[in-house]
Amino acid sequence: MRQWLDYFGPAFVLVAVFPRVAALFYAPAYWKLRGTVSYLLAHTLIYYGGLYVLGPHGRRAHAAQEALRARLGREPTDAEVMAECRFLRAHTT
């Protein structure tokens, strides 16, 4: 609850004091159909573009974690996974 108040608290106070400011904080609610569609399209492209760009890195990290888990016989730490990713990247490219 505390995080929710920290995140939404200032917006709640500003909207309560100045109701027209709500258009800035909750803009898609005030846009017409074209604005809402463009908003959804932009966010969808950003999301899937990020998956396309960052996807190989996530697969590499997952593969490194699986390899370390098999080699060490335990769950690897984040630092070990990062070091293994660096090692794999240096030796595969």
pLDDT in tens, 5-17: 676 777 777 778 8
Residues 41 and 59 in one domain: yes
Domain encompassing residue 38: 31-93
Count structural domains, the chain.
Answer: 2
| Rounded Cα–Cα distance for residues 34 and 16 (Å) | 28
**The amino acid at 23:** A
pTM: 0.40
Do 65 and 40 have their domain in common? yes
Residues 8, 42 within the same domain: no
Q: Please report which confidence band the pLDDT of residue 92 belongs to, taking 50, 70 and 90 as the band edges.
A: low
49 plus 70 within the same structural domain: yes
CA 65 to chain centre: 21
